[in-house]
Structure 1
Amino acid sequence: MKKIGIVSLYYNSVNYGGLAQAYALNRYFTDMGYESELISYDRIKKRKSIPEKRKKITSMSLGEIVEKCYRKAAEKIGQKCYAKRLDIRKARMKEFRDAIPHSVRYTEETIQRCENDYDIFVSGSDQIWKPGVVDAGFTFDFLKEPEKKTVISYSSSVSVKELPEDYVHFMTGALKKYSAISLREATTAKQFKAAFNRDVRVTVDPVLLVDESVWTEMASQKLLDEKYVFCYMLGDNKEQRRDIKKFARSQNLTLVTLPHIKQSSRFEVRVEDFAFGDKQMFEVGMPEFLSLIKYAEVVVTDSFHAGVFSYIFRKVFYLLERPTKNPNDVMNVRIYDLLSLYGTPDRLVKVGESLLNKDSKIINFLTIEQKVSTARQYSRMYLQEALNKNGR
Structure 2
Amino acid sequence: MKIGILTYHCTTNYGATLQAYALLTAIKLQGWKDVEIINYQPLAMLRVFFIRPVQPINKKLQINTQLFVNLRKCLNMRRFVLDNLRLSQKKYYTKASLKKHCQHYDVVICGSDQIWRIDPIEGFGSEFFLDFVYKKTARQKISYAASFGDTDTLKNHQESIINLLKSFDTILVRDANSVKIVQKECKLPAVKVVDPTFLINYDAITVLPKLKEKYLLLYNQKYFTNLEEDFIKSIAKNKNLVIVSVGQVNKIANVNIVEADPKKWLGYFKFSTYIVTNTYHGTIFSIIFKKQFTVVLNENKSNKIGDLLKDYNLEDRICATQLKTPNFEHIVDIDYNKVEEKLQLAVAHSKNYLFAALKNRENLGNISEGS
TM (normalized to structure 2)?
Answer: 0.86
**In structure 1, what residue type is equivalent to 2:340?**
E
Q: Paired residue for 2:219? A: 232
Q: Paired residue for 2:338? A: 367
Are residue 91 (structure 1) and residue 89 (structure 2) matched? no
Deviation at 1:362, TM superposition (A): 2.1
Kept in 1: contact 2:108–2:141 (CA 8 A): yes
Question: Relative to 1, partners in 2 of residues 1:242 and 1:168: Cα closer, same or farther, differing over 3 Å?
Answer: farther
Q: Which residue of 13, 25, 28 corresponds with 2:26?
A: 28
Percent identity of the aligned residues?
A: 25
How many residue pairs align between the two structures?
A: 344
Deviation at 1:145, TM superposition (A): 3.5
C-alpha distance in structure 1 between counterparts of 2:175 and 2:28, whole Å: 25
**In structure 1, what residue type is equivalent to 2:243?**
L
Question: Relative to 1, partners in 2 of residues 1:167 and 1:338: Cα closer, same or farther, differing over 3 Å?
Answer: same
Counterpart of 2:15 in 1: which secondary structure?
helix
> Higher mean Cα deviation, 81-90 or 19-28?
81-90
Q: Paired residue for 1:177? A: 167
Larger relative CO (CA 8 A, sep 6+): 1 or 2? Answer: 1
Q: Paired residue for 1:340? A: 310
C-alpha distance in structure 2 between counterparts of 1:313 and 1:164, whole Å: 36
Counterpart of 2:260 in 1: which secondary structure?
coil
C-alpha distance in structure 2 between counterparts of 1:163 and 1:102, whole Å: 33
Counterpart of 2:269 in 1: which secondary structure?
helix
Kept in 2: contact 1:123–1:154 (CA 8 A): yes
C-alpha distance in structure 2 between counterparts of 1:28 and 1:311, whole Å: 19
Kept in 2: contact 1:235–1:323 (CA 8 A): no
Query: CA-to-partner distance for each residue in 1:29-73, whole Å, 9 max, x for gaps?
Result: 111222111111122259xxxxxxxxxxxxxxxxxxxxx784334
- Extract structure 1 runs of 4+ deviating beyond 4 A: none
Counterpart of 2:339 in 1: which secondary structure?
helix
Q: Paired residue for 1:109? A: 96
Deviation at 1:220, TM superposition (A): 0.6
C-alpha distance in structure 1 between counterparts of 2:29 and 2:100, whole Å: 27
Kept in 2: contact 1:302–1:320 (CA 8 A): yes
Counterpart of 2:172 in 1: which secondary structure?
strand
Counterpart of 2:95 in 1: which secondary structure?
coil
Deviation at 1:148, TM superposition (A): 3.8
Are residue 150 (structure 1) and residue 140 (structure 2) matched? yes
Deviation at 1:386, TM superposition (A): 1.7
Are residue 122 (structure 1) and residue 109 (structure 2) matched? yes
**In structure 2, what residue type is equivalent to 1:93?**
M
5+ residue gaps, structure 1:
47-67, 261-272, 325-330
Deviation at 1:377, TM superposition (A): 0.6
Query: CA-to-partner distance for each residue in 1:318-337, whole Å, 9 max, x for gaps?
Result: 1121244xxxxxx3221112
C-alpha distance in structure 2 between counterparts of 1:278 and 1:71, whole Å: 27
Deviation at 1:274, TM superposition (A): 5.5
Q: Paired residue for 2:210? A: 223
Counterpart of 1:379 in 2: which secondary structure?
helix
Are residue 311 (structure 1) and residue 287 (structure 2) matched? yes
TM (normalized to structure 1)?
Answer: 0.82
Question: Relative to 1, partners in 2 of residues 1:91 and 1:343: Cα closer, same or farther, differing over 3 Å?
Answer: same
- Pairs within 5 Å for 1:347-386: 347-353=317-323, 354-386=325-357
Deviation at 1:153, TM superposition (A): 0.3
C-alpha distance in structure 2 between counterparts of 1:180 and 1:145, whole Å: 14
Counterpart of 2:179 in 1: which secondary structure?
helix
**In structure 2, what residue type is equivalent to 1:251?**
K
Q: What is the RMSD computed on CA atoms of the aligned residues?
A: 2.1
